[in-house]
Structure 1
Amino acid sequence: MSDVLQSAFNAFLEELKNSESLIRLTVSTLLLILVVAVSRFLLRRFIRRNIQSSEMRRRWLIQLRNILLIVLVLGLVVIWGHELRTFALSMVAIAVALVIATKELILCVSGALIKGGARSFNIGDRIQVKEFRGDVIDQNLLTTTILEVGPGRSMQQRSGRMVVLPNSLFASEAVINESYSQDFVLHTFSVPFLRQHEWRPAKQKLLELAQKHSEPYLEQAKRHFARLSYRTGLEQPVVEPRVTIQLQCAEELHLIVRLPTKEHDRNQTEQAILAELFADDDYLGDYLPRV
């Protein structure tokens, strides 16, 4: 890019050297400056001698200075107009080339500014951008690095892969921050059943297990979400564990479990509940034969 800038500037200088009117332009510029300087000297002298009021004299001197400055600038533009247009076109071409060559870098910097201004997330937060989901471990002006969590949105364990995201994504894509509440989160997971399965006792068992695993820090989680609601001005969410039903189709339903848990214990809590749920019963009923 520096070579392009240098070549454009050299072309501008070469055009000036080869121009037959260069001497005329220089002489015209010197004459204009001389005329303005002489006019300023004579007019200032006339004003000082013929205007008695100091306030009026100061006002005329200021107006004279401004008028002569405008005349000088307009005169220079008229004299050097063609050369200035040539130089301006060269600079526009350089600017366009510069923007095209650094488009991705500009988008990355813009994304970093948007991300920082909106305070979308911090180091350690779990985020999702498009299909990329993971824990943020590093961020700079151009990229953000995450440890992938998945596969899928329902998984809560790391896959062992590191993903480097260009910050340009944050300028055009929505960011989901799963750790916005920091210490505690309202974790949700789904347990699918067929309508013929014994899902009613499973629903009751899931509620009991959710209450059991959240009981040690339920009051602490309530205070945490109360402080968060006060700080953000939002309504305080219901923190107590709950199990709801979601119908996916006519033959299938999902039991949606929601419970408060510590931010870094989501996967362990979910797996512990599922392990205890199916430890003594598979809830198949008479739909499939037992072995």
Structure 2
Amino acid sequence: MDFLNSFINSNYGEKILYSFIVIFIIYLLKKINEKLIIEKIKEPKYKYYWNKTTNYLLVIIVFLAVGRIWFVGFQSLSTFLGLFSAGLAIALKELITNFAGWIYIISKKPFEIGDRIEIGNFSGDVIDISILNFTILEIGNWVNADQSTGRIVHIPNGIIFNQNLANYTKDFRYIWNEIPVLVTFNSNWKKAKEILLNIATEHSEHLSKEAEEKLKKAAAKYMIYYKKLTPIVYTSVEDSGILLTIRYLCHPRKRRGTAHEIWENILDEFSKHNDIDFAFPSQTIYLDTPKDSL
């Protein structure tokens, strides 16, 4: 008993006792936080952020408080505040990064609400921008031709600093789309090419004039050089036939619609000409006939 009393009254005994008291108080604060705050947060995302942040803060407070008990260097108020600030910055790193991302987004405006963007593995239409994240209505993924999946995706603002961003609709507001059409080697490919060019022109010629005006404005801000904005059909040769590729301008949100209309026109027009046939991968098999069977 005398040994225990002397140990408690010693310098080390006091430090151990105070350390246990600090850890116990922090443990009580953690339980109070879980019961009174975390359980009342309904949104899973905010519950996760709050729980993660408070746990980091409590660990840092334990480290600083116990360190201040055991090490003389921690007795300096300026040292204590400096270490606490550093620990706080580490604990709130994600929140600070997301807040800085929000400042960047609202000041530099790489995108705004209503823009169609692609960033990292995400693509969609921006429907909300908040302090910690922005929200998109997703396109693509398992759905073809940039159409909506119906999913709403919340993306942390901090992603703007470490992922490439593509904006479909800012400044220029048009994209190039291509439709490959494969015809057989025996087809009248020149006639087919002329038909395809007429169809593409019918669907996108009006956009060329609009795009030209937009391009002049965009060229004042970006180094954009397009010598030809009207539709064109490129010719190349594949293993199975002659590939005629239509290249034309369209609105980002109408890519699938215009492709649908163009393909229907192509099917109608090609059906009127017996000298134009679609090509497809095929194989020719030659069978050797035994001489005795002749």
Q: Give the shorter-chain TM-score range.
A: 0.5 to 0.7
1:17-70: per-residue Cα shift (whole Å, max 9, x none)?
Answer: xxxxxxxxxxxxxxxxxxxxxxxxxxxxxxxxxxxxxxxxxxxxxxxxxxxxxx
Counterpart position of 1:109: 99
Alpha carbon RMSD of aligned pairs, Å? 3.8
How many residues matched? 220
Q: Is the contact between residue 192 and residue 252 of structure 1 (CA under 8 Å) also seen in structure 2?
A: no
Q: Does 1:87 align with 2:77?
A: yes
Deviates more, 1:235-244 or 1:204-213: 235-244
- Give the whole-Å Cα distance in 2 for the aligned partners of 1:256 and 1:126: 26
Instruction: Say whether residues 1:284 and 2:274 are aligned partners.
Output: no
1:221 maps to 211
Q: Percent identity?
A: 22
- CA offset at residue 154 of structure 1? 6.4
Q: Give the number of the structure whose alpha-carbon radius of gyration is greater.
A: 1
Q: SS where residue 261 of structure 2 aligns?
A: helix
1:242 aligned residue: 232
Q: Distance in 1 between matches of 2:164 and 2:188?
A: 36
8 A contact 2:177–2:250 mirrored in 1: no
Counterpart position of 1:272: 261
Q: Distance in 2 between matches of 1:277 and 1:231?
A: 38
Other structure's SS at 1:224 match: helix
- Give TM-score scaled by structure 2 length: 0.59
Kindly indicate whether the alpha-carbon contact (under 8 Å) linking 2:73 and 2:79 is maintained by their aligned counterparts in 1. no
Q: 1:155 aligns with which of 140, 145, 156?
A: 145
For 2:157, the equivalent position in structure 1 comes to 167
C-alpha contact (below 8 Å) 2:182/2:280 kept by paired residues: no
Q: Deviations over 1:253-273 (max 9, x none)?
A: 864433233454333212211
Cα 1:141/1:225, change in 2 over 3 Å: same
Match of 2:43 in 1: none
For residues 233-267 of structure 1, give each alpha carbon's deviation from its aligned partner in whole angstroms, at most 9, with x where no partner exists.
Answer: 643552111123577x8668864433233454333
Runs of at least 5 residues in structure 2 that lack an aligned partner in the other structure: 1-53, 272-276, 284-294
Could you say which residue in structure 2 is the equivalent of 1:181?
171
Question: In structure 2, how many angstroms separate the alpha carbons of the residues matched to 1:7 and 1:233?
Answer: 54
Tell me how far apart the structure 2 counterparts of residues 206 and 259 of structure 1 sit (CA, whole Å): 11
In terms of mean alpha carbon deviation, does 3-12 or 258-267 score higher?
3-12
**Separation in structure 2 between the aligned mates of residue 253 and residue 141 of structure 1, nearest angstrom:** 53
Is 1:119 the counterpart of 2:113 in the alignment?
Answer: no
1:261 and 2:270 are equivalent in the alignment: no
Q: Which SS does the other structure have where 1:156 is aligned?
A: coil
- Residues 185 and 262 in structure 1, CA contact (< 8 A), matched pair in contact too: yes
CA distance in 1, matches of 2:121, 2:98: 19
Q: TM-score, normalised by structure 1?
A: 0.60
Q: Whole-Å Cα distance in 2 between the matches of residues 105 and 165 of structure 1?
A: 13
For residues 198-255 of structure 1, give each alpha carbon's deviation from its aligned partner in whole angstroms, at most 9, with x where no partner exists: 59355433322110012344333322322332454643552111123577x8668864
